[in-house]
């Protein structure tokens, strides 16, 4: 029995996904736009009128009035058209938002929607020109979101405790390996889509940004990486551009900052205002950060500073991240060695200096980057074997991994043999994602324990 068969036999995905899609609402418009731009839905589509369409260029985020993206290129019936592209969760939004009468939307080449509207199957401009419309299929959206019905399952021993306890260690190892491989394959394919859409450097850069955004600022960091892309930072002060694009150079912040930080902010501003028109998305499309309820080390100011530090050392990072054969330790050591005169001794732009030096890019975050992006990609590209991945040890399970361990094994002591390797952490997270977060009956109706009995 394979892990995939076990998963399918438990949830019977086609029926299950239908139910979830009907019950769930769409994510926010900005998240849909960020996913689209990252290439998460691929390049090949069919218009609602049945014409095949290929996205040649995803364009760039629009910083002014008009459609969401400018300079996109799409191929329809063998003809490539260039121009702006609009994304709406609902097909009806085009009319509701007045785009049909707005001259700013006159040149739109494509209208992308996620929910159909029988009354709005045709998108028309103020000149009564028909704009091709595509409806992103629900299964592509589900795959890109990869989001179970709930975010957390409480940390208590679950019903699969007994079958797992009876299982020989070799069988548990096989189960975890299969779950970890499933997770690595899905993550590699997701990153490969971004690479296919924007190239290997942009793919890696977005992966770093998303890792730094974990957990509450993943979307803001993805947006930042898309609006201030790596290629646009070349030859410029990455620190100033990223802080400016993030919206962290506002006069309010200057007023709240300690005396010594104000000089730093003033120098960033001196650079930022010269480049501002090329990056600033304006108040309507500003990035909304979550700053409350975060540990100081996870504050978005620090995370943006870490992204700037990597962007400033990109050639070295790229060489290590794309090495063949891939080796994990040099990547972690390099990231941990990054320093900055201000950020090695400061948590946020408004905090007091720290007494001890703090890592700009911590080892735990570096391991997240390895587990979620670099190792899956290296395996997908045959630059590392599973045997090598299996050898990578880690001593610090995060809170989510600990929660999975308690649900599956009862307590951290019993789970200890499965908490020492990075791949086992990933396996626990995958089982938690596939079963615990899908179950809404507090284990009672979860079929995983019964299926486990057949696992050899
Ligand atoms: S929800 Fe299912 S997989 Fe998760 S702990 Fe309970 S029985 Fe086990």
Q: Are 436 and 444 in contact (CB under 8 A)?
A: no
pLDDT of residue 23: 36
134 beta partners: 47, 112
pLDDT of residue 275: 94
Instruction: Say if ligand 1 is within 6 A of residue 160 CB.
Output: yes
Instruction: Say if ligand 1 is within 6 A of residue 407 CB.
Output: yes
Q: Is the pLDDT of residue 24 over 70?
A: no
Å from CA of 438 to ligand 1 middle: 9
Instruction: Say if ligand 1 is within 6 A of residue 449 CB.
Output: yes
Q: Is the pLDDT of residue 416 over 90?
A: yes
Nearest atom of ligand 1 to the alpha carbon of 438: 1
Lowest-pLDDT choice from 20-34, 39-53, 327-341, 346-360:
20-34
Å from CA of 441 to ligand 1 middle: 10
For residue range 195-210, what is the model confidence (pLDDT) as tens digits? 999 999 999 999 999 9
Q: Is the pLDDT of residue 395 over 90?
A: no
Instruction: Say if ligand 1 is within 6 A of residue 443 CB.
Output: yes
Q: Is the pLDDT of residue 14 over 70?
A: no
Hey, which of 159, 175, 432 would you mutate to test ligand 1's pocket, going by the most ligand atoms within 8 Å of its Cβ? Answer: 159
pLDDT of residue 15: 45
Nearest atom of ligand 1 to the alpha carbon of 431: 3
Nearest atom of ligand 1 to the alpha carbon of 161: 8
- Higher-scoring residue by pLDDT: 313, 414: 313
pLDDT of residue 64: 85
Average pLDDT of 57-62? 95
Å from CA of 407 to ligand 1 middle: 7
For residue range 268-299, what is the model confidence (pLDDT) as tens digits? 999 999 999 999 888 888 899 998 877 888 89
Average pLDDT of 309-336? 97
Instruction: Say if ligand 1 is within 6 A of residue 446 CB.
Output: yes
Hey, which of 175, 407, 438 would you mutate to test ligand 1's pocket, going by the most ligand atoms within 8 Å of its Cβ? Answer: 407
pLDDT of residue 324: 98
Both tokens assigned to 24: 């769930």
- Higher-scoring residue by pLDDT: 11, 101: 101
Residue nearest to atom 4 of ligand 1 (CA): 436
Q: Is the pLDDT of residue 245 over 90?
A: yes
Determine phi and psi for 434, rounding to 5 degrees.
-75, -30
For residue range 227-243, what is the model confidence (pLDDT) as tens digits? 999 999 998 899 999 99
CA dist 300 to 219, 334, 348, Å?
12, 21, 8
pLDDT of residue 22: 40
pLDDT of residue 12: 58
> With pLDDT > 70 as the criterion, what percentage of the chain qualifies?
96
Instruction: Say if ligand 1 is within 6 A of residue 436 CB.
Output: yes
pLDDT of residue 21: 42
DSSP assignment, residue 435?
A: I
Residue nearest to atom 5 of ligand 1 (CA): 158
Q: What long-range pairs does 341-344 form, CB within 8 A, spacing at least 24?
A: 342/261, 342/264, 342/305, 343/302, 343/305, 343/306, 343/309
Q: Is the pLDDT of residue 320 over 50?
A: yes
Å from CA of 185 to ligand 1 middle: 23
Average pLDDT of 416-423? 95
Q: Assign 93 a pLDDT band (cuts: 50, 70, 90).
A: very high
Å from CA of 213 to ligand 1 middle: 28
For residue range 333-355, what is the model confidence (pLDDT) as tens digits? 999 999 999 999 998 888 888 99
Instruction: Say if ligand 1 is within 6 A of residue 161 CB.
Output: no
pLDDT of residue 257: 80
Average pLDDT of 37-49? 95
Name the residue with tokens 């009995």.
Answer: 453
User: Does the pTM of the predicted model rise above 0.95?
Assistant: no
137 beta partners: none
Hey, which of 165, 446, 447, 452 would you mutate to test ligand 1's pocket, going by the most ligand atoms within 8 Å of its Cβ? Answer: 446
pLDDT of residue 16: 44
Start-to-end CA span in the chain (Å): 7
Å from CA of 425 to ligand 1 middle: 16
On the 0-12 / 13-18 / 19+ scale of CB atoms within 10 A, 413 is exposed
Put residue 293 in one of left, alpha, beta given phi > 0 → left and psi -120 to 50 → alpha: left
Instruction: Say if ligand 1 is within 6 A of residue 88 CB.
Output: no
pLDDT of residue 20: 38
Instruction: Say if ligand 1 is within 6 A of residue 272 CB.
Output: no
Q: Is the pLDDT of residue 144 over 60?
A: yes
Average pLDDT of 368-377? 97
> With pLDDT > 90 as the criterion, what percentage of the chain qualifies?
68
Instruction: Say if ligand 1 is within 6 A of residue 247 CB.
Output: no
Lowest-pLDDT choice from 33-42, 115-124, 139-148, 249-258:
249-258
CA dist 351 to 220, 342, 426, Å?
22, 11, 34
Instruction: Say if ligand 1 is within 6 A of residue 406 CB.
Output: no
pLDDT of residue 39: 95
Neighbours of 71 (CB within 10 A): 13
- What mean pLDDT value characterizes the chain? 90
Residue nearest to atom 8 of ligand 1 (CA): 160
């Amino acid at each position: 029995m394979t892990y995939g068969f076990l998963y399918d036999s438990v949830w019977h995905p086609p029926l299950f996904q239908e139910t979830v899609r009907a019950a769930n609402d769409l994510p926010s418009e900005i998240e849909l736009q960020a996913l689209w731009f990252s290439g998460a839905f691929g390049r090949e589509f069919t218009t609602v009128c049945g014409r095949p369409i290929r996205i040649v260029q995803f364009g760039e985020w629009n910083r002014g009035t008009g459609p969401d993206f400018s300079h996109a290129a799409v191929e329809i019936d063998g003809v490539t058209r260039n121009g702006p592209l609009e994304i709406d969760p609902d097909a009806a939004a085009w009319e509701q938002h007045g785009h049909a009468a707005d001259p700013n939307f006159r040149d739109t080449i494509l209208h992308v929607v996620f929910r159909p509207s029988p009354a709005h199957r045709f998108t028309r401009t103020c000149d009564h020109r028909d704009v091709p419309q595509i409806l992103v299929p629900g299964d592509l959206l589900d795959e890109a979101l990869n989001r179970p019905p709930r975010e957390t399952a409480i940390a208590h021993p679950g019903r699969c405790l007994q079958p797992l306890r009876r299982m020989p260690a070799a069988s548990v190892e096989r189960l975890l390996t299969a779950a970890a491989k499933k997770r690595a394959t899905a993550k590699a394919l997701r990153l490969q889509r971004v690479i296919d859409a924007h190239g290997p450097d942009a793919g890696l850069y977005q992966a770093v940004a998303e890792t730094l955004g974990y957990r509450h600022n993943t979307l803001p960091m993805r947006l930042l990486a898309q609006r201030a892309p790596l290629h646009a930072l070349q030859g410029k002060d990455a620190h100033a551009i990223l802080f400016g694009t993030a919206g962290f150079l506002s006069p309010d912040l200057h007023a709240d900052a300690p005396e010594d930080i104000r000089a730093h902010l003033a120098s960033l501003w001196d650079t930022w205002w010269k480049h501002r028109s090329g990056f600033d998305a304006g108040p309507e499309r500003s990035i909304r950060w979550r700053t409350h309820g975060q540990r100081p080390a996870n504050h978005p100011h620090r995370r943006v500073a870490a992204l700037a530090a990597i962007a400033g050392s990109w050639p070295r990072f790229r060489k290590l991240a794309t090495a063949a054969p891939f080796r994990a330790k040099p990547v972690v050591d390099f990231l941990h060695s990054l320093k900055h005169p201000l950020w090695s001794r400061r948590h946020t732009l408004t905090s007091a200096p720290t007494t001890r030096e703090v890592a700009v890019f911590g080892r735990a975050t570096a391991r997240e980057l390895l587990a979620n992006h670099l190792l899956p990609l290296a395996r997908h590209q045959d630059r590392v074997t599973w045997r090598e991945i299996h050898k990578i040890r880690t001593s610090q399970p995060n809170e989510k991994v600990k929660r999975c361990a308690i649900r599956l094994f009862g307590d951290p002591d019993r789970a200890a043999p499965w908490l020492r390797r990075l791949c086992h952490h990933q396996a626990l997270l995958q089982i938690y994602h596939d079963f615990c977060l899908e179950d809404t009956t507090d284990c009672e109706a979860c079929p995983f324990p019964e299926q486990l009995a057949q696992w050899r």
